[in-house]
Amino acid sequence: MSEPYILPRKGSIQDPLRIAVLISGGGSGLLALLNYQQSNPCAHITKLIISDNVNAGGLRYGEDFSIPVAAIPLPESKNNVEQRIMHENLIHDILLNSNIELVVLSGYMRILTPNFVCKWKGRLINIHPSLLPKYPGAHAHRDALADGAKITGCTVHLVDEGVDTGKIISQQEVPILEGDTIEKLQERVKKVEHQLYPKVLDIFCSQDS
C-alpha cells in the first residue's frame, strides 16, 4: 500500500506555506506564480528558487522579486546514478536550510529519483503540459500532435516515484487547433497553466492535513 500524502501543516494568508520553486528554463510559470502571490492574499509564499541550469532565464525573477536563488548544476561524477543522487542531496540540503515546506516543480526538466521523492512525498507537486495519463515525459506536445489528438491540456499532480504518475489534483483542457505547431500549442497550454497552477496551489495549501 502506498503511503498517504501529507502536508506538514495547513497554510493560511497569515502564515503561508513556504515553497521552493524548481525550474530549468524560461520560468514563465514561476513568473505567473510570483505575480499571483504578490497580488492575491494566499496560502503560499515563494521563499526560494532553484534551477539545475545555471543559465535558466527564470533565475532573473529572483532578483526582480527579492527571492534567493540557487543554481545547482549536476556535480561531476562518472556514475550517472551517483551523480543524480549527489545533485538531489545538494537540493535537499538547501531546501532544509531554507525551511521549505512544499516543493513546486514548474518546468523542472529532470526526473527525480525515488531517493529524493520519498523525502518529499506529499510535499512535492508538478505541472505537466498534457492531460495525464496521456503523453507523460519531456515531449508532451510533440506526442499529442503526433497522435492526432484534438484536445490536450495540463495537469497538476503530486510527484511519486514514476514519471508523471502521481495523484492528479487538477486538470484543464486546451483544444488543439488546425495548423498547430509544438510552439503554438505550448504557448496556448502555458497560458492555461499560468491561471491554473497558482489557484490549485492555494487550494492545496489551505487544505486540512
Among 107, 122, 153, 166, indicate the residue that binds ligand GAR (CB under 6 A). 107
- Concatenated DSSP letters of 126-159: EEESS-TTSS-STTHHHHHHHTT-SEEEEEEEE-
Site for ligand GAR in 25-64 (CB under 6 A): 25-30, 58
- Catalytic residue flag (residue 157): no
Q: What are the residues whose beta carbons fall under 8 Å from the beta carbon of 129, sequence distance 6 or more?
A: 140, 141, 152, 154, 186, 189, 190, 193
- The answer to the question of residue 176 lying near ligand GAR (CB under 6 A) is no
- The answer to the question of residue 11 lying near ligand GAR (CB under 6 A) is no
Provide the edge-to-edge strand list for the sheet that holds 102-105.
Answer: 69-71, 44-51, 17-23, 102-105, 124-128, 151-158, 168-175
- The answer to the question of residue 193 lying near ligand GAR (CB under 6 A) is yes
DSSP β-ladder status, 102-105 and 124-128: parallel
Among 48, 127, 132, 149, indicate the residue that binds ligand GAR (CB under 6 A). 127
- The answer to the question of residue 7 lying near ligand GAR (CB under 6 A) is no
Our measurement of the distance from residue 102's CA atom to the centroid of its chain's CA atoms, rounded to an integer in Å, reads 10
From 18-26, 67-75, 143-151, 175-183, span contacting ligand GAR (CB under 6 A)? 18-26
- Please pick, among 87, 128, 141, 194, the residue that the annotation labels catalytic: 128
Number of residues that bind ligand GAR (CB under 6 A): 17
The least CB distance from residue 205 to ligand GAR, in Å, is 19
Please provide the distance, in angstroms rounded to a whole number, between the alpha carbons at the two ends of the chain: 20
- What residues are annotated to the active site? 128
- Site residues (CB under 6 A) for ligand GAR? 23, 25-30, 58, 106-107, 127-129, 138, 140, 190, 193
